[in-house]
């Protein structure tokens, strides 16, 4: 009832019969109560609540799986480092063991020389020596023999020095060998420990991935993953010229050696079309990751290989290689049925593995395959840990679209 209608009723209330006045007063009281009563609490749709809970469960499970994957990768790096150390120690041990027989043979040869010289000197100067019969007055022959004896003595001294030096080297080599063998034992114990940790990390990783996949399936069954954001897969909508035009309005500082912004934008279009991945959104992702291509070392435009505790990311020899790896990995995140056989180009050797067979296996067995079909699914471990990652990319993309709509 409007205020004007209420005023008219109250004005004519005195002219009404008593019974009518009572009825009107009761009705007005009810209306007043209804008007002043607090609004009824909106009912939450149980199905919508289930969907929200399912989305939260998926995000938490995927984040935990990515954390387990990072720990597993660190354990594998430690394992590789220990194996390299063990190989180096074993190589050194083999070199020392190869030196010892030669040193022993040299010691033996020098000792034989010393014994032979001692025997020769004894024969030449002993009790039966013909030198005893020489006259006291020195003769040319006696002097010659004296000089020869002195020279032999010097040679013997040199031989003894060599013998002592070689024997000392032999003992030092043996000692070093013993030390290397002790170090090898320590490294092998460390290897056993790391292998044990790796097995535990692998088991935890597998468990986390299984939990995440189970949560994902429950969410799919509920319809919780219905289209709610820009899909990763699909045609590239913006042209390279539109992306470049928008870029020039942002005052960015371009620092990609050997490339131009026009060339990069065209590469995103070409590589995106090749894999049915939206190259314009990948371009927006690169804007976020590199600050508008100001910081993109080694042609890495999407932070690939970088992590919260990493000192460097993955290296790509050319801009196309960096963009191709980014596009292929986006496809792996978006399409749970993606296989290397369905790629337009072989899996990137700079991301999935230099060995072609290893690259195929790594692409096909990517644990987070299909976890991010839309850009709203990115973040919380999917590509980045930040919960604001997807909104950052989508905000950039929305700005690009707005520019294209006004500038053609």
* DSSP structure class, residue 45: P
Sequence ranges of the domains in the chain: 3-36, 66-126+143-208, 240-407
| Contact between 354 and 314 (Cβ < 8 Å) | no
Burial class (CB in 10 A: 0-12, 13-18, 19+), 266: middle
Q: What pLDDT, on the 0 to 100 scale, is given for residue 17?
A: 53
Q: Is CATH 1.10.10.10 the classification given to domain 240-407? A: no
Query: Quick check: pTM over 0.75?
Result: no
Question: Cβ contacts of residue 263 below 8 Å, gap of 6+?
Answer: 319
| Contact between 188 and 111 (Cβ < 8 Å) | no
Q: At what angle do helices 3-11 and 18-36 cross, to 10 degrees?
A: 150
| Residue corresponding to tokens 């919960």 | 387
| Contact between 373 and 334 (Cβ < 8 Å) | yes
List, run by run, the mean pLDDT of 10-residue segments along the chain (408 residues).
46 52 50 49 60 77 85 79 83 80 78 73 57 55 65 71 79 84 85 84 86 77 64 92 96 94 98 97 97 94 80 89 98 96 97 96 96 92 93 95 88
| Contact between 250 and 292 (Cβ < 8 Å) | yes
| Residue corresponding to tokens 């063998």 | 181
Distances (CA, A) of 63 to 59, 228, 279: 6, 20, 26
Quote the CA–CA distance of 347 and 326 in Å, as a whole number: 11
Question: Cβ contacts of residue 190 below 8 Å, gap of 6+?
Answer: 82
CATH fold of 66-126+143-208 reads Helix Hairpins (1.10.287)
Q: What pLDDT, on the 0 to 100 scale, is given for residue 43?
A: 60
Q: For residue 188, how many other CB atoms are within 10 A of its CB? A: 14
| Contact between 350 and 339 (Cβ < 8 Å) | no
Q: What pLDDT, on the 0 to 100 scale, is given for residue 87?
A: 86
Instruction: Tell me the H-state helices in 223-339.
Output: 240-248, 261-275, 279-290, 319-334
Q: What pLDDT, on the 0 to 100 scale, is given for residue 72?
A: 80
Q: What pLDDT, on the 0 to 100 scale, is given for residue 9?
A: 46
Burial class (CB in 10 A: 0-12, 13-18, 19+), 400: buried
């Amino acid at each position: 009832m409007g205020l004007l209608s209420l005023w008219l009723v109250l004005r004519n209330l005195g002219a009404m019969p008593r019974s009518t006045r009572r009825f009107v007063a009761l009705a007005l009281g009810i209306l007043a109560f209804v008007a002043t009563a607090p609004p009824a609490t909106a009912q939450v749709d149980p199905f919508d609540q289930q969907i929200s809970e399912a989305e939260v469960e998926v995000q938490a499970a995927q984040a935990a799986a990515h954390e387990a994957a990072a720990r597993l990768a660190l354990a594998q790096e430690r394992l590789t480092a220990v194996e390299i150390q063990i190989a180096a120690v074993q190589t050194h041990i083999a070199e020392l063991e190869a030196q010892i027989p030669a040193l022993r043979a040299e010691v033996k040869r020098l000792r034989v020389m010393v014994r032979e010289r001692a025997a020769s000197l004894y024969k030449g100067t002993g009790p039966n020596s013909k030198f005893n019969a020489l006259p006291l007055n020195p003769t040319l022959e006696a002097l010659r023999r004296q000089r020869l004896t002195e020279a032999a003595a010097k040679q013997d001294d040199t031989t003894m020095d060599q013998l002592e030096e070689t024997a000392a080297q032999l003992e030092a080599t043996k000692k070093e060998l013993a030390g290397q063998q002790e170090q090898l034992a320590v490294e092998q114990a460390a290897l056993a420990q790391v292998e044990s940790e790796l097995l535990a990390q692998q088991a935890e990783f597998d468990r986390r991935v299984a939990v995440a996949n189970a949560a994902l399936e429950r969410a799919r069954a509920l319809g919780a993953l219905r289209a709610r954001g820009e899909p990763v897969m699909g045609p590239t909508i913006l042209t390279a010229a539109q992306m470049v035009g928008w870029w020039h309005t942002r005052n960015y500082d371009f620092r990609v050696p050997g490339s131009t912004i026009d060339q990069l934008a065209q590469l995103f279009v070409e590589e995106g079309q090749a894999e049915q991945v939206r190259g314009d959104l990948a371009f927006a992702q690169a804007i976020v990751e590199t600050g508008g291509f100001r910081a993109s070392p080694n042609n890495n435009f999407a932070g690939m290989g970088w992590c919260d505790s990493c000192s460097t990311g993955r290296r790509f020899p050319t801009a196309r290689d960096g963009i191709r790896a980014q596009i292929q990995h986006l496809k792996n995140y978006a399409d749970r049925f993606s296989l290397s056989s369905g790629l337009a180009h072989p899996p990137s050797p700079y991301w999935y593995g230099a060995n072609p067979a290893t690259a195929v296996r790594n692409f096909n067995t990517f644990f987070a395959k299909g976890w991010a079909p839309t850009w709203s699914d990115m973040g919380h471990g999917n590509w980045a840990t930040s919960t604001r990652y997807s909104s950052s990319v989508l905000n950039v993309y929305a700005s690009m679209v707005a520019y294209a709509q006004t500038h053609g």
